[in-house]
């Protein structure tokens, strides 16, 4: 029987909290044309300017959430890999990072060297975006092409609305939802608006109407990150039994001066505190593993902002990480991954 390897891929992390390692990581990340979608000369100029001060600032942020075992994102992804192994009986389960180590190139090359010729590629991003899903797939294809590897890929599709994922999300949050709270904020990672317009096959989506994302279907829904986030939020709320007035959606992690999708998490934190919300729960469903964007941006800075604005308590609900329901859901989703053309 031919072995089918499973390759889990997450974003990545600096090798350490040293400024030089953070600079190296940020350079690789920001120079990806799917992340900063500018012509190479402009991208190089912009990234070089960002790298003057940003690495030191980011190094401090990473240091504030770094674990003794290393980067939380990498450690949690390793734990997920180990949790999945007993349930994926088709072949080995490997882990790679799009940026940093272990790299997609090293991992695919090693699998091919072991005689594996079929790989299920699993980008660990529930919602589609060029800067997450596409760049992982294209990097894998580049490695196979340039290395001349005899590997056939099956690719996990975005699973933002899949019942197994939504049920796992609800199960992981249930202990927090069973406690008293005033409001739940679902904070997704943000994207520049132009990223959405660029991949819109109709050229007519994002018309600023209130129900644009709710009406999205077909090819538009398949490519619209914001619409998929809204579907995740609504599906989760339904699974969790939440009323419409108990939750809302926002987008975090803005970078630069470009217009990003709204509403912004920073603004929502102030608005909710000013509205009288005292105990706020925050979930980050664009991430399946806790990382700097959840632990530091929301868990530390977001909590401080909310309290300063008049709130009393911000509780960060952990990501799926290695929750048993998520492990089971991921295996089922990956087993249905279609063969790439």
Contact in structure between 103 and 12 (CB atoms under 8 Å): no
Structure tokens given for 187? 């904070």
DSSP single-letter state for residue 244? G
> How many other CB atoms are there within 10 angstroms of residue 245's CB atom?
7
The answer to whether 324 is annotated as binding is: no
The answer to whether 189 is annotated as binding is: yes
Cis peptide bond upstream of 308, omega within 30 = no
| Interior angle at CA 205, CA 204 and CA 210, nearest 5 | 125
Listed in sequence order, the DSSP H helices in 66-184 are 72-84, 104-113, 135-147, 163-177
DSSP single-letter state for residue 70? B
Contact in structure between 118 and 5 (CB atoms under 8 Å): yes
User: What is the DSSP secondary-structure string of 282-323?
Assistant: EE-TT-SS--HHHHTIIIIIIHHHHHHTT-SEEEE---STT-
Number of helical H runs and strand E runs in the chain: 14, 8
| Integer Cα distance of 219 and 200 in angstroms | 8
| Interior angle at CA 74, CA 71 and CA 80, nearest 5 | 140
- Measured N-to-C along each axis, helices 324-335 and 72-84 cross at an angle, to the nearest 10 degrees, of 70
> Which residues make up each annotated binding site?
189, 293
- Give the residue ranges of the annotated binding site for Fe(2+): 189, 293
């Amino acid at each position: 029987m031919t072995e089918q390897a499973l390759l889990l891929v997450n974003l990545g992390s600096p090798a350490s909290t040293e400024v030089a390692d953070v600079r190296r990581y940020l350079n690789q990340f920001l120079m990806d044309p799917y992340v900063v979608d500018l012509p190479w000369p402009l991208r190089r100029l912009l990234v070089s300017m960002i790298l003057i001060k940003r690495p030191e600032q980011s190094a401090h942020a990473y240091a504030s959430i770094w674990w003794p075992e290393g980067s939380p994102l990498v450690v949690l992804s390793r734990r997920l890999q180990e949790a999945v192994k007993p349930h994926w009986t088709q072949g080995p389960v490997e882990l790679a990072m799009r940026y940093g180590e272990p790299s997609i190139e090293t991992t695919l090359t090693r699998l091919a060297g072991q005689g594996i010729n079929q790989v299920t590629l699993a980008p660990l991003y529930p919602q589609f975006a060029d800067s997450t899903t596409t760049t992982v797939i294209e990097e894998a294809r580049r490695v196979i092409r340039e290395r001349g590897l005899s590997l056939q890929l099956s690719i996990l599709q975005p699973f933002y609305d899949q019942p197994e994922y939504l049920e796992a999300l609800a199960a992981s949050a249930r202990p927090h939802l069973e406690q008293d709270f005033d409001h739940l904020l679902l904070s997704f990672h943000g994207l520049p608006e132009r990223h959405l317009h660029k991949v819109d096959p109709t050229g007519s989506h994002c018309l600023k109407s209130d129900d644009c994302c709710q009406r999205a279907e077909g090819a538009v829904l398949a490519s619209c990150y914001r619409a998929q986030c809204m579907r995740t939020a609504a599906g989760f709320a339904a699974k969790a039994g939440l009323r419409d007035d108990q939750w809302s959606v926002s987008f975090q992690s803005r970078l630069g001066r470009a217009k990003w999708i709204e509403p912004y998490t920073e603004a929502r934190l102030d608005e909710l505190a000013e509205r009288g919300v005292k105990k706020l729960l925050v979930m980050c469903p664009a991430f399946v593993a806790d990382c700097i964007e959840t632990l530091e941006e929301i868990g530390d800075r977001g909590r401080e902002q909310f309290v300063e604005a008049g709130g009393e308590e911000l509780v960060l609900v952990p990501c799926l990480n290695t929750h048993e329901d998520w492990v089971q859901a991921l295996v089922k989703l990956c087993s249905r991954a279609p063969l790439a053309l």
